[in-house]
Amino acid sequence: MSEDKLFGLIDLNFRFELTKFKLVRALCKSRWLPLLLILFNLFIFVIILLAGLFGGYSAGNYNFGIMMVWILWWVLLILMLVPGFARMWCLMCPFPIFSDWAQRGKLFEVRQGKLGGLNLKWPKRLSSMWVLNLAFLATTFFSGFFTVRPFATFILLGIIILVAFLTGLVFQKRTFCLYLCPVSGFQGLYSQFATAEVRRKDPEICKKHTPKTCFVGNEKGYGCPWLRTPFDFAKNTYCGLCLECFKTCPHDNMALNLRPPGVDLLVDTKREPRGLDEAYKAFIMLGIAIVFYLAFQGPWGVIKDMVRATTLEGYLGYITFHTVFNLLIIPGIFFLFAYLSKLFSGNKEVPLKKIFTNFSYTLVPLGLGVWIGFSLGIILPNGSYLLHILSDPFAWGWNLFGTAHFPWTPVLTHLLGYLQGATLIVFYLFSIAYGFRSSRQTYPDLPQARRGWIPMLGLLTLITTAFLWLFMG
C-alpha cells in the first residue's frame, strides 16, 4: 500500500488553494469577514432566546429555538460544516462577540496595544480537551429536556453566552472557545477529517519573517485569537478559522486549501502530538451517538422515558449508565483490543499507551459517519417543521413567508436506513484505510504492523456491524 495514496487513488499530498482566487483572498483579508456572519448569527440567536422565553408553543417541533438549534444548526454542523470546512462554525459563532468586544474595545477596527480584561493565561494542566470532554458529556445529561422544552434550550444558551463573556474578561483571547465550550471539542476532533484547512504556503517565508505578525498581530489584525502559531501548525484541531492570520501576514503567505479528507489523522509531531484527551473525545462521541440513537430514534420507549426524566429513578439510572458507558466501558473495550494488538504484533517495546492512543484516531472517521447517519434520522423526518417555524417563530399566529400551515412532510424516510447504512460503510472504509497507516506509524516494521492491525480491524468491523443493525434493522 502506497503511503501517499488512499485506496490507491487519492493523493494525500494534494492541495487546491481556494485563496489563489482574488475574490476569496480579498474576503479572507477583509475585516467584514467574519464580522457580518457573526452579526447575522447573533440576530438569529436573539430570536432563538426570545422564542425560548416567549414562544407560544411548548412542543419542540413548533418552537423556533428548538428547531433552529437541535435540527437545522446541528444537522448543518455535522453534515456540512465540520466535514467540509472544519471549524467553520467557530468563524461565525456569535457567543464570543461580547468578550471580543470587551477585550479589544472595537468590533471592526483594530486596536493597537494591550487587550482589555485581566488577560490571564489558562492553567497549563487544563490546556487540553479534558474539560471539553466532561462539559460536553454533562450537557448530554439534559438532552431529553433541550429537545422538547424551549426554556431548557434558553437556559443552556444563556449559560454558554455568560460563561464565554466572563471567561473573556479573565483569561486571554479565545480561552473559552479553546478549553470550555461544549461544542468546541467534537468540532476539533472531527475537523481532522475535514476537506479544508488553513495553512502557511511557503515555510521559508515564515522562517525569515520577524516578528511573527500572524501570532502577535499588527495594524491589520489581531494575533491569533486561538493562541496558535499559524506559521507552523499542522492540524485543524485548534484552528478556529478566524482568518486573522490572513489579515496580519504581510506576505500573503497563508492559504485556505481543499484537501483529501482525514490527512490530519496521520499527524503526530512534538508540537501537536496525539493525546489521551483526544482519544477520550473519540470514545465519548461514539458512546453518545449510541445512547442518542437508542433514546431518540430507537423503538424502546423505556429508554426515552429515562432520558426525559419521567421518573427520578429512571433519570438517575440514565445519567449513571451514560457516564459509565462513555468513560469506562467503551475505553475499556478499546483498551482490550489495543492489548490484543500488542500481543498479535509480537512487539514488546512499543508502549501500550501509544498503541491505545494511536488507534483511537481510527474512530474519528467512523464516529463522524455515525453522527451523519444519526443526523439524517433527524432532518429527513422533521425538516418540514422548519418551514412552519420560519413563518411563525414565536407561535403567535404569524405567517411571514406563507409557510406557517405547511403540513408535516417526511422526506425519503422509506430509504432512511439505507442512506444511513451507506454513509456508515463509506466512513468505515476511511477508518480502516487510515487505521492501517496508524498501525504502520505505531509498529517499527511491516509484518508487526499487519499483525497488530488485525484486532483493531476486527473491532472497527464489529462497531460498524452493530450500527448497521441499528440503522437498518
424-442 confidence digits (pLDDT tens): 999 999 999 999 999 999 9
Tens of pLDDT, residue by residue over 274-286, are: 999 999 999 999 9
Tens of pLDDT, residue by residue over 285-343, are: 999 999 999 999 998 999 999 999 999 999 999 999 999 999 999 999 999 999 999 99
- Under 8 Å between Cβ of 61 and 149: no
What integer pLDDT is reported at residue 57 of this predicted model? Answer: 65
Is residue 82 classed exposed, middle or buried when 0-12, 13-18 and 19+ CB atoms within 10 A define those classes? Answer: buried
Q: What is the mean pLDDT of residues 41-55?
A: 93
Q: What Rg do the C-alpha atoms of the chain give, in angstroms?
A: 23
Q: ∠ at Cα 326 (322, 327), nearest 5°?
A: 115
Tens of pLDDT, residue by residue over 106-161, are: 999 999 888 999 999 999 999 999 999 999 999 999 999 998 899 999 999 999 99
Residue in 158, 239, 167 with CA at minimum distance from that of residue 197 = 239
What integer pLDDT is reported at residue 3 of this predicted model? Answer: 73
The H or E element that residue 4 is part of is none
- Under 8 Å between Cβ of 256 and 18: yes
What integer pLDDT is reported at residue 58 of this predicted model? Answer: 58
142-167 residues labelled b (16+ CB within 10 A) or e (exposed): bbbbbbbbbebbbebbeebbebbbeb
Strand-pair partners of 221: 218
Q: Is the pLDDT of residue 1 over 60?
A: no
260: cell is 483529501
- Under 8 Å between Cβ of 366 and 192: no
The strands making up 16-17's β-sheet, listed across from edge to edge, are 16-17, 254-258, 196-200
Q: Is the pTM of this model over 0.85?
A: yes
Q: What is the mean pLDDT of residues 28-57?
A: 93
Average pLDDT for the chain: 95
How does DSSP assign 154-212, residue by residue?
HHHHHHHHHHHHHHHHHBSTTHHHHHT-TTHHHHHHHGGG-SEEEEES-HHHHHH-SS-
**Which residues contact residue 397 at a Cβ distance below 8 angstroms, ignoring those fewer than 6 apart?**
none
Q: How far, CA to CA in Å, does 318 sit from each of 17, 322, 371, 375?
A: 47, 6, 21, 22
What integer pLDDT is reported at residue 61 of this predicted model? Answer: 74
Note every long-range contact of 120-127, with CB atoms under 8 Å and residues 24 or more positions apart, other chains counting: 120/170, 120/171, 120/172, 121/171, 121/172, 122/171, 122/172, 122/175, 122/178, 122/179, 126/179, 127/178, 127/179
What integer pLDDT is reported at residue 54 of this predicted model? Answer: 87
What integer pLDDT is reported at residue 60 of this predicted model? Answer: 62
- CA pseudo-torsion sign 158, 162, 165, 167: negative
Q: What is the DSSP letter of 396?
A: S
Q: What is the mean pLDDT of residues 212-222?
A: 97
Say how many CA atoms lie within 13 Å of 386 toward its Cβ.
16
Q: How confident is the model at residue 172 (pLDDT cuts 50, 70, 90)?
A: very high
Q: What is the mean pLDDT of residues 174-186?
A: 96
Q: What is the mean pLDDT of residues 445-470?
A: 98
Q: ∠ at Cα 214 (212, 117), nearest 5°?
A: 105
Site of grid cell 477508518 = 431
Tens of pLDDT, residue by residue over 61-116, are: 788 999 999 999 999 999 999 999 999 999 999 999 999 999 999 999 999 888 99
Tens of pLDDT, residue by residue over 376-385, are: 999 999 999 9
What integer pLDDT is reported at residue 2 of this predicted model? Answer: 62
What integer pLDDT is reported at residue 76 of this predicted model? Answer: 97
What integer pLDDT is reported at residue 473 of this predicted model? Answer: 81
Q: Is the pLDDT of residue 443 over 90?
A: yes
Look at the chain and count its residues.
473
What integer pLDDT is reported at residue 59 of this predicted model? Answer: 60
Tens of pLDDT, residue by residue over 258-274, are: 999 999 999 999 999 99
